[in-house]
Amino acid sequence: MTSLQPARGMHDLLPGDHQKHAFIITKALQIAARYGFCEISTPMLEFKEVFKRTLGTTSDIISKEMYEMASKGGEELVLRPEGTAGVARAVLSNGLTQSMPLKFCYTGPMFRYERPQKGRLRQFHHIGIELFGVDSALGDVEVVSLAYDVLKALHLEERVTLEINTLGDEESRTHYRTQLVAYLNDHLTKLSPDSQTRLTRNPLRILDSKDEGDKRILENAPLLKESLNTASEDMFASVQEGLQTLKIPFRINPHLVRGLDYYCHLAFEFTTTDLGSQGTVLAGGRYDGLTRTMGGPQIPGVGWAGGIERLAMMLREEDLPRPVRPLAVIAMEERFSFKGLELAEVLRQEGFRVDMTYENNLGKCLKKSNKINALYALIVGEEEVRSHKVTCKNLDSGEQMLVPQEEIGQFFKDTYPQGRTGHES
């Protein structure tokens, strides 16, 4: 027999986790819909090329984090590590490029072969959005604003910081790369081994290094903003103006670079100090070159993805919607069980949550009813069956009354209307 543990880095989502995930997803999709974004789902398995071409072979994801497999037919497949490349692939393969803009939101599991730790899993979940076809700062600002609204809906906006930076356009980055490489070459031997390799393959990524020695060297490195051409400067200034207009607080972090090749201009992250070293909860940016590297036309794009597990870890119990309190059905004898189930069915049809107590001992059943936080117990015994009535006991006040069976739906609709909705708050 194989181990009873899930595979390393993979987690079960128990009902308590699900409640948080569902809350985050519901809020995010609701707000995305308010901005005119429509939900899209792409497969969890894609051809490796979809990611290899676009994320860049030197990115952490491609170089070490992908779950790869071959199909029986010999195709190279991967479990998706992120959503953007798959959504862009879907835009191209479904021929959606004719009507811009396209506004998509999505949620689902992502897979990365990383060292598992708190807030870092091998299967985790993203909530994300992508806006295609808007090349102005308006798109960037709207997308960040959407993220901010989601964080506000989760009551997290006070506990996160929005950090932004610009990677400029291609011309600015090429200029900067030369400056940075020249500077880092002077400190080559003191750089971490990882960064030494990156220096030839992808020097910009060194800016993102977590190595303390690298960080010290980077303190005096030339900054990307000194290499920006006017167009890139203007674009970044507009983004800032937009954020200020919407009163979204932000901080410019000149060392912020995103780990993937397809980004240009805006890069941003919402970070927190509440989660230890896994401090980024939501991150994104502009990726105007993405569809072209896939072999499609050039379509500007901007978007983000939030880590649902990290967001869930930040949620406070009191901010979660309280589940609707159920009604508990108690059949005093086994022969009344189906009578009880019939009653439950009537009330479920009316939209109430009804739990059976499954036993025939009043004391035990009342205890169970309290344990599931039921508001009422509906008791069906000999007397009730004979008189076609039900004893309805309010478990908070202890008050009880006999309600005719045929009026039971109406009775609860009148006395407990909030029990019919999905959630109370």
Q: Which residues bind ligand ATP (CB under 6 A)?
A: 82, 112, 114, 119-121, 124, 126, 259, 278, 280-283, 305, 307, 309-310
Comparing CB distances to ligand ATP, the nearer of 314 and 343 is: 314
Enclosing H/E stretch for 306: strand 301-307
Comparing CB distances to ligand ATP, the nearer of 311 and 390 is: 311
Structure letter (DSSP) for residue 117: B
Residue 140 and residue 284: Cα distance in Å, rounded? 10
> Minimum distance from CB of 393 to ligand ATP (Å)?
46
> Minimum distance from CB of 125 to ligand ATP (Å)?
8
Comparing CB distances to ligand ATP, the nearer of 131 and 281 is: 281
Q: Where are the alpha helices (DSSP H) in 114-160?
A: 137-153
Comparing CB distances to ligand ATP, the nearer of 81 and 326 is: 81
Residue 177 and residue 363: Cα distance in Å, rounded? 75
Comparing CB distances to ligand ATP, the nearer of 114 and 359 is: 114
Residue 180 and residue 36: Cα distance in Å, rounded? 41
> Minimum distance from CB of 147 to ligand ATP (Å)?
11
> Minimum distance from CB of 406 to ligand ATP (Å)?
53
> Minimum distance from CB of 309 to ligand ATP (Å)?
5
Residue that is written with structure tokens 């899993």 in the block: 121
What's CA 167's distance to the chain center, in Å?
25
Comparing CB distances to ligand ATP, the nearer of 63 and 97 is: 63
> Minimum distance from CB of 308 to ligand ATP (Å)?
8
> Minimum distance from CB of 157 to ligand ATP (Å)?
16
The pair of three-digit structure tokens given for residue 316, joined into one six-digit string: 């406070």
Comparing CB distances to ligand ATP, the nearer of 47 and 67 is: 67
Q: Where are the alpha helices (DSSP H) in 186-317?
A: 193-201, 212-218, 230-245, 290-293, 308-314
Instruction: Please list the residues that pair with 46 across neighbouring strands.
Output: 78
What's CA 289's distance to the chain center, in Å?
24
Residue 285 and residue 305: Cα distance in Å, rounded? 10
The residue number with the shortest CB distance to ligand ATP is: 307
Residue that is written with structure tokens 């676009």 in the block: 54
> Minimum distance from CB of 126 to ligand ATP (Å)?
6
Q: In Å, what is the CA distance from 2 to each residue of 5, 13, 98, 352, 372?
A: 9, 21, 51, 42, 35
Cis peptide before 101 (omega within 30 of 0): yes
Comparing CB distances to ligand ATP, the nearer of 204 and 305 is: 305
Comparing CB distances to ligand ATP, the nearer of 262 and 352 is: 262
Q: Are strands 161-166 and 327-331 parallel, antiparallel or unpaired?
A: unpaired
> Minimum distance from CB of 322 to ligand ATP (Å)?
27
Structure letter (DSSP) for residue 165: E
Amino acid in position 88: A
Q: Is the dihedral of CA 42, 45, 46, 48 positive or negative?
A: positive
